[in-house]
Structure 1
Amino acid sequence: MSRPVAFAPTEVVRFVLARLDDEEAVIRRSARSLRGQDDSRVADLEHRRADCLARRQVTGAVQQLLVLRDLPREKPVREHATRILLSLASPYADHKAYRAEWNAQYATAS
């Protein structure tokens, strides 16, 4: 990864967390509408909820890697943490708040 990041990784963190908030809201609404219904659909919602939680935890862990990493030898940690964030954001590339430079940066980092 030789290209510098042209954006603040915290922007990507906020974007990913907002998308997870959106997904969790949909899951909650769906769960309310499924009360007392098909167990397989409820199990699917539980799986989706667990997936959102896992992605939220990964985002938090990556965010911690970005904090106080100012030494030159820590640059690879910041770069890899940013790649992880871009990977977490990439499924939402069609969202109106997704920034084109994130996609370009993600493509060059892969």
Structure 2
Amino acid sequence: MSPPTDAEVESYAPYTALTELLGTHPKVKILAVLLSEGRDINISQIAEQAGMSRSTVYDHIEDLQALEVVEQTRKISGSPLYQINKDSDVAEQLHKLEWTLIDSVASE
């Protein structure tokens, strides 16, 4: 992977173990961001960390909710907040996969 540009330095998702394995599709980047967060965050925060526009996040967040991997937790001033669905077996497996990948890279 090439070094990040100045615009990409602010984002987190394009440089994770998960995106390295599965690619940089917007859904993968959204999941990478939410897996890295220990709290619920809004669309603007997801977009910034994922290095994509808010409209792209909106284009994909409902699909991830329909798969029950992501959940809307609450609204603050009308703005929805999202997090990984901690009750989802799929989300749990993604989390384990990411840590396995990180451990694999660390041991090399």
TM-score scaled to structure 1, two decimals? 0.28
Which structure dedicates a bigger proportion of its chain to strand? 2
Larger gyration radius, structure 1 or structure 2: 1
Which structure dedicates a bigger proportion of its chain to helix? 1
Per chain length, whose mean CA-contact separation is higher, i.e. which structure has more relative contact order (CA < 8 Å, sep 6+)? 1
TM-score scaled to structure 2, two decimals? 0.28
